[in-house]
């Protein structure tokens, strides 16, 4: 029962995250193309706010995408060194230690991201009347999503909501 509820909650978070990434990426491509067109068309002034907004929105894209990278195991990994340098009985210990270090780093990132976001609620970006806190919020939210993925992997040994592919089975046997 709990596993089904966890799967449902995770599915909602995952679909929302994916939809937001698609929207952000589409926005960056569209507004970037419009800006390039306007910049090189005589008689049309380019929009002054595009470069700044694209830079800030890219922070959201990176943080949300990093959590997906963790989900599929394409984020930070040191398995080659782990299997070559550490004896088999020590691999679990090394993984627990590295997981703890990652969790601590993410908790620090989340904590200071929240502080930075709240400290800048009234700070307006240069080109538009938008609080910079909307962009700083990407750091704690992305950190929470990355931490969620690492916790799921730590608890279940591998990500419980990623279907196993045949290639993964072949790689794990080597």
pLDDT tens string 48-105: 888 889 999 999 999 999 999 999 887 666 666 666 777 878 877 887 888 889 899 9
Residue in the block written with tokens 């230690």: 97
- Above 80 in pLDDT, residue 42? yes
Model pLDDT, residue 48: 84
Model pLDDT, residue 173: 45
Mean pLDDT for the stretch of residues 156-173: 66
Model pLDDT, residue 166: 46
Model pLDDT, residue 136: 95
Q: Is 44 exposed, middle or buried (0-12, 13-18, 19+ CB in 10 A)?
A: exposed
- CA end-to-end span of the chain: 35
pLDDT in tens, 94-152: 878 888 898 999 999 999 999 999 999 999 988 889 999 999 999 999 999 999 999 99
Which carries the bigger pLDDT value, residue 26 or residue 155? 26
pLDDT in tens, 3-22: 889 899 999 999 999 999 99
- Above 60 in pLDDT, residue 34? yes
Closest by Cα among 62, 77, 83 to 17: 62
Residue in the block written with tokens 């703890």: 100
Q: Which helix (H) or strand (E) holds 102?
A: helix 91-119
**Model confidence band, residue 164 (pLDDT cutoffs 50, 70, 90):** confident
Which carries the bigger pLDDT value, residue 24 or residue 95? 24
Tokens read off for 12: 């909602």
Tokens read off for 11: 């599915």
Model pLDDT, residue 170: 44
Model pLDDT, residue 79: 66
Q: Which helix (H) or strand (E) holds 116?
A: helix 91-119
State how many domains the chain has: 1
DSSP string, 22-87: HHHHHHHHHHHHHHHHHHTSTT-PPPTTHHHHHHHHHHHHHHHHHHHHHHTT-SS--HHHHHHHS-
Give φ, ψ of 131 to 5 degrees.
-70, 140
Enclosing domain of residue 87: 2-173
Closest by Cα among 34, 68, 66 to 53: 34
């Amino acid at each position: 029962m709990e596993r089904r509820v966890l799967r449902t909650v995770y599915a909602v978070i995952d679909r929302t995250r994916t939809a937001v990434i698609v929207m952000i990426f589409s926005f960056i491509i569209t507004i970037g193309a419009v800006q390039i067109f306007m910049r090189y068309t005589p008689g049309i002034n380019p929009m002054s706010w595009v470069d700044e907004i694209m830079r800030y929105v890219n922070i959201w894209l990176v943080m949300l995408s990093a959590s997906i990278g963790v989900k599929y195991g394409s984020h930070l990994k040191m398995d080659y060194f782990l299997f070559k340098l550490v004896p088999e009985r020590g691999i679990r210990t090394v993984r627990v230690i590295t997981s703890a270090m990652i969790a601590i780093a993410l908790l620090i990132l989340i904590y200071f991201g929240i502080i930075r976001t709240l400290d800048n609620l009234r700070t307006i970006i240069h080109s538009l009347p938008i609080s910079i806190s909307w962009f700083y919020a990407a750091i704690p939210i992305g950190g929470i999503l990355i931490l969620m993925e690492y916790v799921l992997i730590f608890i279940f040994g591998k990500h419980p909501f990623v279907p196993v592919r045949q290639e993964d089975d072949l790689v794990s046997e080597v």
